[in-house]
Each structure stands twice: as C-alpha cells, then as structure tokens.
C-alpha cells in the first residue's frame, strides 16, 4: 500500500530536481546557453520520472493532476482520500529536491551572491534563491494565474489524450511519457519567459519552503499580496479544465485505466 506514495515522492523529486537543477546550472554557472536547452532537460526529466513510477502509482507527480483524477473519480477510480496522500508525497518530493539542489549548488550560489552584490534574504535576493517561480514584472496576479492555468490545462489535456486506450494515433502506449515530456518542454519554452512555467504546485512550493528555511525567509515565502499563490491555485484550476475538455469532447472510451491496472494514468 505504501509503494504508490513512495513512487510519487521519488518521481516528483526527480522531476523537480531536473527542473530547478537545469535553471541553477544556467544562472549560476552558465552551463546551458538557451531556453530550449533548459526546457528539453526539464521535459526529459519528466519523461524519465513517469517511466520510473507509472506502473506503481500512475505517475501523477503533480498535485493539480491528482486533484483532477479525484474530481473524475467515476472515470479513474481515484479517490480524494488517496489524492491527499499523493499530494503530501509530491510536496515532500519537491522539498527533498530543493534540499539536494541547494546542497549541490550552495558554493555557486554564494559566489553568485558575492559577484552580484546580493544579500540573502533582502530585496533582490530571489535571483539567487533557485526555488519558486517568479512572474514577470509586467504581469499582475490575475494574468499570471491565467498563464499557469493555461499551461497546466494543456499539459493535463495531453496527458489524458496520450493515455487514452482508445486513442489509436498513439502506436505504442510506452511512448506516452516521451510525448508528455515533450509537451511540457514546449510549454516551458513558450511560457517560461512570462511566469517561469511551473504548472505544478509541488515543483514551486517544495523548493520555496527550502529556500525560506535556508536564509531567504520572506523573499522565498512572501505574503499573499505578492502573487506567489498563483503557482498553487493556477494549476489546480487549469488541470481539471484541460482534462474535462478532453474527457467530454474527445475521449475514445468511457473509462480511463485505473491505478490498479498498472497503467500510466497521468
């Protein structure tokens, strides 16, 4: 009974680690040269995480997707009680990834702060936190909320489409994780310049908690007026909408595979 929750923890850890690790490598070391390089590393990490955990937990790896699966309980067999356990495991996985990433890059973060005159915990130090997402200065919370909801909605739409047993356009179901990762990479390349493209509350909240405890304080966990909540609320609005559009308009059969079938339900 515990294995699905362990799988969600480890899969989310892997997903978040690839994501914030690639960003850290760019900002702190200059290891990657373009946005697409970050996006494809992140997308490939998502694919690997799904391959590693799909047969055990269904590879949700995202609280917004677990919420969506519970909302569509009549199709998925996934309950809100189970979703709560998954979400806890996912956030813990994000926290673990934040801890490991901080441990790996701490010397480079310190050097970056020294070179740029950043004082950890003060205004402007969010640039060195390597934690949660940050919307562009031209965006208000409502606009950022829409962007995050849209991205999560497209991702959920494609996840349901790619794992629909009746979708004959997918020649082999084993390819679904690759296309889900490619979808995520494309969305990151498209929307990351606007909101940094989180689409996943665990990816944002987990590392943000770590940064808050590691010296960034309220810079990492600002008040509600800062708009950081859009990275939690946005995906939880968008993912159910995206899944609903697919299930009501395009689904090829009435029931999606359940967790007990050992099929990827992400």
Residue 160 structural domain: 3-258
What are the tens digits of pLDDT across the range 2-31? 999 999 999 999 999 999 999 999 888 888
Q: What is the model's pTM? A: 0.90
Q: What is the CATH classification number for the domain harbouring 76?
A: 1.20.1080.10
Residue 266 counted as domain residue:
no
Residue 72: the pLDDT is 96
Give the span between the Cα atoms of 185 and 46, in whole angstroms. Answer: 9
Residue 265 counted as domain residue:
no
Q: What is the domain count for the chain?
A: 1
Residue 84 counted as domain residue:
yes
Name the percent of the chain lying above pLDDT 90.
Answer: 67
Q: Are 66 and 199 in contact (CB under 8 A)?
A: no
What are the tens digits of pLDDT across the range 170-202? 778 889 999 999 999 999 999 998 988 999 999
Identify the residue whose tokens are 């979808």. 183
Residue 159 has pLDDT above 80, yes or no: yes
Residue 51: the pLDDT is 97
Q: What confidence tier does 259 reach under pLDDT thresholds 50, 70, 90?
A: very low
Residue 228 counted as domain residue:
yes
What are the tens digits of pLDDT across the range 58-69? 999 999 999 999
Q: Supply angle C-alpha 191, 95, 23, rounded to 5.
A: 40
Among the listed residues 150, 110, 148, the one whose alpha carbon sits nearest the alpha carbon of residue 130:
110
Among the listed residues 83, 123, 128, the one whose alpha carbon sits nearest the alpha carbon of residue 102:
128
Residue 264 counted as domain residue:
no
Give the span between the Cα atoms of 45 and 12, in whole angstroms. Answer: 10
Distances in whole angstroms, Cα of residue 234 to Cα of each of 96, 145, 189, 213, 228: 23, 5, 18, 25, 10
């Amino acid at each position: 009974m515990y294995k699905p929750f362990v799988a969600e923890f480890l899969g989310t850890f892997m997903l978040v680690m690839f994501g914030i690790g690639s960003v850290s490598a760019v900002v702190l070391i200059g290891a990657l040269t373009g946005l697409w390089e970050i996006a494809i590393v992140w997308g490939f990490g998502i694919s690997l995480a799904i391959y590693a955990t799909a047969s055990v937990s269904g590879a949700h790896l995202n609280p917004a997707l677990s919420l969506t699966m519970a909302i569509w309980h009549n199709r998925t067999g996934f309950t809100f009680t189970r979703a709560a356990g998954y979400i806890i495991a996912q956030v813990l996985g994000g926290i673990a990834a934040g801890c490991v990433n901080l441990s790996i890059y701490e010397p480079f973060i310190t050097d970056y702060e020294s070179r740029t005159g950043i004082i950890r915990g003060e205004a402007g130090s969010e640039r060195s936190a390597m934690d949660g997402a940050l919307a562009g200065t031209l965006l208000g919370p409502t606009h950022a909320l829409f962007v995050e909801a849209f991205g999560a909605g497209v991702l959920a739409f494609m996840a349901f489409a790619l794992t629909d047993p009746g979708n004959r356009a997918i020649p082999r179901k084993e390819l679904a994780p690759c296309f889900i990762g490619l979808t995520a990479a494309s969305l990151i390349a498209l929307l990351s310049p606007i909101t940094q493209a989180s689409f996943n509350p665990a990816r944002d909240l987990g590392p943000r908690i770590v940064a808050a405890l590691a010296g960034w304080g309220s810079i990492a966990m600002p008040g509600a007026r800062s708009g950081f909540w859009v990275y939690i609320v946005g995906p939880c609005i968008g993912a159910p909408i995206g899944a609903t559009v697919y299930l009501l308009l395009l689904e090829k059969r009435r029931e999606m595979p359940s967790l007990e079938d050992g099929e990827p339900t992400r």
